[in-house]
Amino acid sequence: AQTVTQSQPEMSVQEAETVTLSCTYDTSESDYYLFWYKQPPSRQMILVIRQEAYKQQNATENRFSVNFQKAAKSFSLKISDSQLGDAAMYFCAYWGSSNTGKLIFGQGTTLQVKP
Amino acid sequence: DSGVTQTPKHLITATGQRVTLRCSPRSGDLSVYWYQQSLDQGLQFLIQYYNGEERAKGNILERFSAQQFPDLHSELNLSSLELGDSALYFCASSVDWQETQYFGPGTRLLVL
């Protein structure tokens, strides 16, 4: 069975600085996608970024980028120029072709942004 | 705004009761997913429908059931409610089962 692990329950960063959130996963599949979702205090789940496993290039969305290390099964999220609005819980999620659609989530990392 | 709508936003009920949560997917999305977020279990997949048909089941209790209607909206029915069913229930949708899932705002259920 596939698993997703986020080993950092909490992280903090100074406004305008850069922070990296870690995620590791375990799978025997070759066809899968990885996601980062953000859950602010409103509890809405917001898609941050998506990475296809077959792509070697790391995904980037504005200030958000990932470091996808397929062999190491690592998928970290880097937030540059952190803003107060980035404060939230961040979930790493896995989708595999054998999962018939369901996402498997990590435990989440709470990010605090200090002014 | 993801385009996925869920009603009601909040629900307070008593043990033993039955409730229905409703979800309308994004326009054009055929696949609907239900997830439960609780403090002790994290985010858990419950069930998936694709174009009206059940496609996958996760950790869904027998007291829970769901369906997707011809207009593609979906309902999650929770019966014989217990205190432990208190959670945030999310609906998500995608174009098909291989595409990115977009989440609704969730329904907060409190069972007293």
pLDDT at B12 over 80: yes
Task: Label residue A99 left, alpha or beta by phi (over 0 means left) and psi (-120 to 50 means alpha).
Answer: alpha
Query: Looking at the complex, does the CB of residue A42 fall below 8 Å from at least one CB of chain B?
Result: yes
Give the whole-angstrom CA distance, residue B81 versus residue A110: 30
Nearest by CB: A47 against B55, B98, B102: B102
Our measurement of the distance from residue A105's CA atom to the centroid of its chain's CA atoms, rounded to an integer in Å, reads 10
Mean pLDDT of chain B: 94
pLDDT of residue A99: 67
Q: Note the pLDDT tens digit of each residue in B59-87.
A: 899 999 999 999 999 999 999 999 999 99
pLDDT of residue B9: 96
* Cβ of residue A105 closer than 8 Å to a chain B Cβ: yes
In this prediction, the residues of chain A whose per-residue pLDDT falls under 70 are: 99-100
Interface test with B, best of A102, A105, A109, A110 (most B CBs within 10 A): A102
Residue B6 at interface with chain A, using a CB cutoff of 8 Å: no
pLDDT, tens digit (0-9, with 9 covering 90-100), for B85-109: 999 999 999 998 778 999 999 999 9
Instruction: Name the minimum distance, in Å, from the CA of B56 to any CA of chain A.
Output: 6
Residue of B nearest to A40 (CA): B105
> Per-residue confidence at B112, pLDDT binned at 50, 70, 90?
very high
B90/A101 Cβ within 8 A = no
Residue A84 confidence (pLDDT): 97
Cβ <8 Å between A103 and B45: yes
Task: Indicate the DSSP class of residue A110.
Answer: E
Taking 90 as the threshold, does the pLDDT of residue B1 lie above it?
no
Distance CA A55, CA B58 (A): 29
Of B4, B20, B104, B19, residue with least CA distance to A43? B104
Substitution target in B103, B107, B110 with the highest count of A β-carbons within 10 Å is: B103
Residue B25's nearest CA partner among B89, B87, B91, B110 is B91
Mutation target for B interface from A45, A49, A51: give the one with most B CBs within 10 A. A45
